[in-house]
Amino acid sequence: MRFLREEMTRQKTQALTRLQERDDEIEKLRRQITSKHVASSTEVELETRLRSLTENLIQKQTNIESLSTQNKSLAVQLERAQVQIEQLEGCAPRPERAPGPADGDAPRLRPPAFLAETPWDGSVARRVKRAYSTLDACSVRMGVFLKRYPIARIFVLGYMCLLHLWVMIVLFTYTPEIHGDDFHRPSSHPLP
């Protein structure tokens, strides 16, 4: 009887340890399944985000391509219109009129009327008008360059500040030579 009790106790403890091991195994499997489920849900979420971002990127690239195509076609139309305007201006001189509301940006693109070359201008007047046009074109290019590159604006501003500072230093520290009444300037040519 005692032997049977010890055997039953031993079997009971073995069954309990096996049960505990199985419970630990089941818990590990549950954790793995949960982590896989969480990982798969985050993967699904990441895939949907990636898919939506890809679709947005494709849509934006399509928009950029269509806008660049429109820009190029408008640039070609503008060039054609400018050529036609130049041809019309070259063929028939027309009297200048004050810019109206229909002109829009046109007055800014054309030089003032008094600086446009005419067949009745003399050679000096033509040179002056060409020089003005050249200076105007250079200043417009410089303005576009400074507008496009902000670091160049900073360098130009810094240069101007340093130049003004240097001029102020020279003006405030320079003292002209002061000579008394008894000073006679030596002449290189003696008087007869």
Q: How far apart are CA 102 and CA 108, in angstroms?
A: 13
Q: How far apart are CA 140 and CA 66, in angstroms?
A: 30
Q: Tell me the CA distances in angstroms from 178 to 42, 81, 87, 169, 170, one per residue in order.
A: 88, 68, 67, 20, 18
As separate numbers, helices (DSSP H) first and strands (DSSP E) second, the chain gives 4, 0
DSSP designation for 103: T
- Would you write out the chain's pLDDT as a tens digit for each of its 192 residues? 788 888 889 999 999 999 999 999 999 988 888 887 777 777 778 888 888 898 888 999 989 988 989 998 898 999 888 888 888 877 655 555 544 444 444 445 566 676 777 777 788 888 888 888 888 889 999 999 999 999 999 999 999 999 999 999 999 998 877 777 776 666 555 555
Q: Give this prediction's pTM.
A: 0.32
